[in-house]
Structures are given as C-alpha cells and as structure tokens.
Chain A
C-alpha cells in the first residue's frame, strides 16, 4: 500500500502553498464523508490529503456588514445547526445540508465539500443556488468570487482552477417576508441519494412574490438555476396558474439520464411536483397566510 501524506495547515496561506506544491496529487479533506468513501472504494488514490478544518476562515460563522452571513466552507451541518440565527434566515439551506447522511455524518459533512464533490445530486447545492449564495475562492493568484451555480462543471468536476480552495459562502441579507425550503425525492425515508432535489427561496410582500430563485438538482450534469421557474413566480400571488407554470419550467429544464436511481420520465415529472411542494413550504415560512 502506498503511503499517504496528511497535512493540516493552520492558515489559509499555508494551505494554498501546500496545495499548490502538491501539484494536483493532493485532495482537500473537509468532513471527508465523500473523500474517504471514494478512497476506500479505490476510486481515488491521493498521495497527499490536505485537511482544511484547522483554518479559521473555513470554520467561521460571521454576520456580514449588510446583515447577511459568511459561512466557512468546512463547517459541518451539525455546527451550523447550533448557530442561533442562520437557521432562522435560511431554514431551507440548513435542512438541505442536514438531510445528508446520518447523525454521525452530519457532524462531519460540510456545504463546501458537498459543492466541491461535484455531484449533481448533492442536497445542499440546490438550496445554495436558490439562496443566491456566492462562493469565495482563494488560490495562488489571489481571491475571487463565483456564484454557487457557476462552481460545478459536470459530474465530479468544478470550475475551481488548480490550486484553488473554496473558503466560504456569502449569503445576502434577507428582506422581511423571505424564506426558503428544500425537498428531495428519495425512494426510502432515509439513507438515500436524491433522485430529484428542489430548493426554492422567495420573498413575499403583501401576498405578492417579489423575488424568487429556484435550484434544481439530480436532473442534469450539474445543479441548475431555473430562471424561468423564478420568473413564473415573481409578480404572482403564488396562485395555481403561476405555480403550474413554474413547475412546467422545472420539468422543461430537466436534462436527466435513465439510471439505477430513476428514469428520465420520472425525474422530469417529479421536478415539477417538488417545485410545487417546496414553494408551498417556503411561502408558508415567509409568512403567507
């Protein structure tokens, strides 16, 4: 068995230097709930593991100046759950993250890892897309920002450049009457991977939807931002016609495959069904009466 080098840098700068020095032979370890499984199955054989959980920027929960949040990419779902404010502003993001795995896994798994794993079925990702979260990325050539929906490049791939590390997510401030929700379809009640996942974030003013974003997972090579669905909701009172239109937009956006987890026909139909159910939950949370 070949040896694996384990590094646990204390600062972001050290991490970037070590990651660059490994020249592509290193893998980042946040919670490890995907990485270790992939290593055990023989899918990945990294020569260096770079543990990023000791870096302050990756494990901080901060309020931004405008009232939003900045969340370290390596924070576990269980840790984020304990924050007194985040779940009130972004219940959909939190529920999506904490649908992943068992209680033990939730103590390890992070949003950053879920996004960088590149799976179109990652539960946190559609909720992050719906939330309009922005990823802060740092590499040898400095810092940059990417919208979450622009991070995945295909199954198992991201648009991060060699040497870049995902540092944190920035969530915008929430106007009054805003909330979000995430639902996924799995055949069982637990211990499963999304066949379709839908995240909806919206704002209601006097019964009218003034802002909305829809993220759709597991129906295309990457998680999708479904702008047509959002357009159908914005300006409406979330009446049946608007919801139907948004659901149809979700189904239309699907570009799925037939595989062991679901058929094309099934995923396409279920995307619309889940849009309706997720929107209803988000609207209720946003205070619709």
Chain B
C-alpha cells in the first residue's frame, strides 16, 4: 500500500549499521576494554534448592590477584513483603535472581562474584568461597510444583490461604461460557504441554562497568534498554540514576531475553569496591543455565461451535512456569489466546507457577505462543470435526472492527481477516501437496503490541545534514526505518540522515526495546521533532525573505515562498538554511518526549507444509508462508526479517528446542549442540505475505511487527503434522523420538503403510 509518492518510506535502504556489522567493526559489549580493567566471575549454586546457612569469602579474598568479592549483602535489600515494580519486573525478585539471598532456587543460581586480574584467578577464587547449605527437595516440572506435597520455594507465597508454588493468577471473562457451551453443537476439549525454550541470542550477556571514586558510574552493556539497565542498577546498588551513564553497545540478539539485568549491578559493586573497571562476559553454559528461557506450560482448551462453524464459547486454562521467582507471562497466554476471534463467551485463566528453574525472561510475544498453540490446535480439530476448511472456519469467526475482546479492548480497524483472506487466496494454500506423509497446517496469532515512553532529538548539522537521536537499542532495523521516515518528512536524501542511539545521559528517557514498540513509538516522537524542525526551517526562510512564516511552504527538501511571494524569492535548501542558521536565530533542532498511545494489536496467519519421515520420526518443513498485518512496512526488508526470524523460532519451538533436566535437577543440555535450534539447512526459504492495513492512530500507520510472527508457529507445524499423519500430537516438541513414539502408538497409520 505504500504510497507511490513516498520516496523513502517503503524503500529497502541500506541499513546504517550494516557495513560495521559485516566487517566486524561494530562494537558489542564484550569488545569494550579499559585501562586497568579487571575480570569478574560468578559462583553458582550446585543445588537446585537449598537454604544458604553461611557464605565465607575470606579464602577467596586472600587469593593473590583478587580485587573484590561481592555477595547479596553488598546490595540494596528488597524485603519480600514490599513490592517494588519496575515495568513488568519487581525488584524483590530481580535482586534475588541476580544474587541468591536466603536460598538458592535453581542449579546455577548466582551466589557470589569475584573480580580479579584475570578470568582464571576470578574462577579459582570463586571455588574458594565456602557456602554452607541446607539442601532441600526440589520441583522442576509444573505438576511436581503444584502437587499436594510439593517442596515450597517461598514460605511467604500463599494460594487459597496455604503455602503454595502458585504465585498468582489472571482471569479474563466475557459473556457466559456455560451458556455458550450449552448452545454448541460440537465441543472439542484437549490438553497440551509445551517445553521452556530459550531466546537463543548468539551474543552472551556482557558488560564493562567503571565506577569513579565519587560514584559516577559508566556502564557499557548489551541490553534491550539502557534506561532499564540504569534504573535496575540504581535500585540494586543505591547509586542515583543521575550518576549512572548507561551506554548501549550493539546487541547480538535479544528477543526479550535482554530486558532484565544479570551482570551490570554486580560489576558495578565490584568496580566500586576495587576501584577498577570490571568486565563480565557470560559463557554459553551460564546463559543456558541461569538466564531466562520462556515458560514451559500445560494447558487445557475447550471450544464449542454451531454446525455452521460459528464459535459460541471458548475456555482456556494455562499453567505457566515462572522459574524460581514469580512472573511468568500468563497475560500473554490467557490474553492473546482467543484474541483473533469474535467469540461472545470466553473464559481464560492463567496460573503463575514457580519451580526450581532459572527465572523466565521475556521471549517474543511472551506467553502468546503458548496460548495460541492450545487454541489453534483445538480449532484445527474443530475444523476437521465440522468438515470445514480450517482457514474458512477462522475467517467465519474473525475479530474485526468493533469486536469486544475478552482481554479488554474493543478493536478499532484491524487486519486479522485480511491475513486469513490472503492465506486463502495464496498460491501456497492453493497448491496441492503431492508426496506421501506430507501435510499442511495453518494457525493464527495475536500480540498486544505496546506504545509507551520514547524520546527523540532531531538536529540539523551546520552543513545541512540531519542527526536523529533516539533512546532504543536497535535489534530489528529501527535505525534504517527511522532514517527512511526522517528523509521522507524532510524531503531529503536518505544518506543525509544519521540515526544514533543515545546513552542515558544524552537523550531523554526511553522505555526498553520490547513489546514490538520501538518503531511505533520512536517514529511518533521523531515525526513530532521533525515537524518542529520543519517549522523552524520555514521560520528561518521567512526571516531571510522578510515575509510571514505562514507564507512559506516546506517541499522537496526546501523552503519555498507561497502565494503573492511565490515568484519573489528563489527557494532555499536545507544546506543554505543551515549555513545561515547562526544569523537567523542559532542552531536548528528540536526534541520530543512522549508516552505514546495507540499501538493497536497485530495479527498473523501462517501456512506450513511438512513432510514426515515416518521411520525416523523426523519432521521437515517444506514450505512456510507468514501472512501478517504490519500496518505499514516502513522498511520492507526488516519487516520480512522480523517475520522470518519469528517463524524460524516458532519452528524451532515446535520441532526440537527444549530444556532437558537430569534427575539432579540440572539442565542437561546447556549448549547449542543439544539445545537444538534450527540451523539454516533445516529451513526452506520462509515466505512473507505483508499486508498493510495502516494503524489509524499512528502518523505513518505503523503497527508493531516483531513479536506476532512467533505466535502461530508451533500450532501451524503441529497441525501440518496432523495433516500428514492423521495423528494429533499435543505435547511439544515434535522431536524425532516423540513423533516416532506417537506413530508407533497409532496402529491405523502402521496399517496404512
């Protein structure tokens, strides 16, 4: 839909950070180094659950080369009975996740940290720290954690008045489900499980922190939000935010997993104690053991429909693993599961369950793929039962403008139905499968999307170019997109715009890169700032010409006199106006800060073809198309990149990714060899059907794009496997042993062979 008059919006411009990244010049956190810098390592719990009786660091401190040792006692205390929320986190839990306090809650839980002149001495010193434990029984899986006699992780946590590992619940109700089911001709109910999966960012967590004697602190780190790093470090160390400068390094993947801190406050205290800059870099094993995957889950979904396919009731119960401290994304699971559909009676309930696993972190539409996996799987079975095409069933029940969703909103203009229609009409969906044991599956998905706080500054340089500064780490091509928008608004060349990511001292507060919010929100503040700059430019031209500013128009990158003056003065370019800036009022530039609103939800529909090797249980994806309403594709290449990346992660979640625990409560596959994300050769080219229904509440029509593409994936793959084999498999992953076991348990398929 990109307007042909647009010169830059919708163009595949070269990303400003591209050359640096492909040539290795881009500076990531682990590239940072400083004179006098020392290294820190973390001592981690050997037990999945134990009370800490004592910690003796004296031998570690005495080791030559050791410069500082830190334990939880060195940080600000957050009592468990006083909530301190920060975004979706709570500092009570962040502090205990960063360094264990009363108890260790998972194998790999940090207990203490040592800074020394090199990593080897730091590691050696960690081994000299003596910790006395009272080892406790542990619970890893949801069923073990909610069993009657389950070991309780937190004495202060109660459910139904009794100590419990259920940390919280969330309920959405619309209409009357019982009445709805009573009307139904067909009711399908099924239960599902999914495994925790990790975001799988290639760059491990890393930081360098330097604290000056007067406590002024500089942090270089890889995160999805330098302001989040600043706030959490301030909370945990007691250093005021104004004394902390958090500098965002380039980021080698985050996917939600870098929206919290693990290292920065620890390095800050070690730097403060030692007087030296301190560097910390996690190993892959540390990332896999002690940083947040997303939740594993168990859920039950029941859907009732009339014979004509009208869905009359939907009910879902979702148990999500929080890891060892409260905070699983039940909102995403319970809230997004039924969101693509216009269903009059919905009841959706989520349980937040703690167990002796690493604390979960956000992962691309947190919780939503879990809800969608259950609902979209049941819908597929409903379509079979009704003898309806699964896409037509979805289209018949599609939410549209005016639909009241169970999680709250009444939708404005949305593009869900368009994604289903595009899938129905696509060449992909209309090309028959011909091979044996091939199958096609579909699924849809929803994500809330987010607005929130963003700041921008747009400055005209003395030579007539533009520097735009925003406050968001760029994890999906946001710099290129902002440059497209700025060049479009100013009517200048893309190459004239340089987009920078400011540190916390050089740009106003900007919430983190998450919730699919960055381009939505930063485009709004950049647009406001640029419009102010254009007003200034018109004013400067008016001043030079001696006419009223209302008689000046900004067009094609220059100021032109209008009306009666139109023939009196030659137009003035940005370069000419910049050169005369000092004589006309000084530097030209403007900033804008806003708590943005109007980020409407995003919808996608996926079509997946698979082929199953029925002797080995291997599922191969043959073809995959993602149809998504993106509002407006400011930079189509990076929209496609987001779609393809999300789809690849969804396929991984469906097929082979899982956390495997051994009997001792330890992760048994803490590396990319046995934690199997798809490799390039596992995937076909992932096709994108970009649908543009502009968001009416955004100046460029932007909707969030980054998270929805993960949501339908696991269900689309599972439904395709059913189409190939005629077997419903309700437990992820669809790994070869699991698929072969399902085939072996199904005599009808063996007979068909």
Residues of A at under 8 Å CB distance from B? 1, 185, 187-193, 195, 259-263, 265-266, 269-270, 273
A265: nearest chain-B partner, CB-CB: B741
Chain A residues within an 8 Å CB radius of B617: 266
- B618 near A187: Cβ-Cβ < 8 Å: yes
With A260-B660, A266-B737, A269-B740 as given contacts, are A191 and B674 in contact (CB-CB < 8 Å)?
A: no
Interface string of B636-677 (1 = CB under 8 A from A): 000000000000000000011000100000001100111010
Label chain A's interface by main secondary structure. loop
- A188 near B656: Cβ-Cβ < 8 Å: yes
A258: nearest chain-B partner, CB-CB: B737
- B668 near A188: Cβ-Cβ < 8 Å: no
The residue that B735 contacts in the complex, of A187, A265, A269, A273, with Cβ under 8 A, is A187
What are 18 of the A-B contact pairs (CB < 8 Å)? A185-B616, A185-B618, A187-B655, A187-B676, A187-B736, A188-B656, A188-B681, A259-B668, A260-B660, A260-B674, A262-B737, A263-B737, A263-B741, A265-B737, A265-B741, A266-B617, A266-B737, A273-B616
Give the size category of B's interface with A.
20 to 34
Cα–Cα distance between A41 and B655 once the two chains are bound (Å):
28
Cα–Cα distance between A185 and B740 once the two chains are bound (Å):
13
A1: nearest chain-B partner, CB-CB: B120
B672: nearest chain-A partner, CB-CB: A191
Chain A residues within an 8 Å CB radius of B741: 263, 265-266
The residue that B669 contacts in the complex, of A185, A260, A266, A269, with Cβ under 8 A, is A260
Does B615 belong to the interface (CB within 8 Å)? Answer: yes
Does B678 belong to the interface (CB within 8 Å)? Answer: yes
- A261 near B674: Cβ-Cβ < 8 Å: yes
- B616 near A270: Cβ-Cβ < 8 Å: yes
Interface string of B661-702 (1 = CB under 8 A from A): 000000011001110101101100000000000000000000
Chain A residues within an 8 Å CB radius of B618: 185, 187
Separation in Å of the A62 CB from the closest CB of chain B? 35
Chain B residues within an 8 Å CB radius of A263: 737, 741
Separation in Å of the B242 CB from the closest CB of chain A? 41
Chain B residues within an 8 Å CB radius of A187: 618, 655-656, 676, 735-736
Cα–Cα distance between A34 and B678 once the two chains are bound (Å):
23
Chain A residues within an 8 Å CB radius of B681: 188-190
Inter-chain pairs besides A187-B736, A191-B672, 4 sampled, C-beta below 8 Å: A1-B120, A187-B618, A262-B736, A266-B741
Chain B residues within an 8 Å CB radius of A190: 679, 681-682
Chain A residues within an 8 Å CB radius of B740: 266, 269-270
Chain A residues within an 8 Å CB radius of B669: 260
Interface string of B449-477 (1 = CB under 8 A from A): 00000000000000000000000000000
- B120 near A266: Cβ-Cβ < 8 Å: no
A263: nearest chain-B partner, CB-CB: B737
Chain B residues within an 8 Å CB radius of A265: 737, 741, 744
Cα–Cα distance between A195 and B679 once the two chains are bound (Å):
17
Chain B residues within an 8 Å CB radius of A259: 668
B620: nearest chain-A partner, CB-CB: A189
- B682 near A192: Cβ-Cβ < 8 Å: no
Interface string of B598-637 (1 = CB under 8 A from A): 0000000000000000011110000000000000000000
Cα–Cα distance between A190 and B673 once the two chains are bound (Å):
10
Cα–Cα distance between A270 and B744 once the two chains are bound (Å):
12
List 4 tightest A-B contacts by C-beta distance, closest first: A266-B737, A1-B120, A189-B681, A273-B615
Interface centre among B120, B668, B673 (most CB of A within 10 A): B673
- B736 near A185: Cβ-Cβ < 8 Å: yes
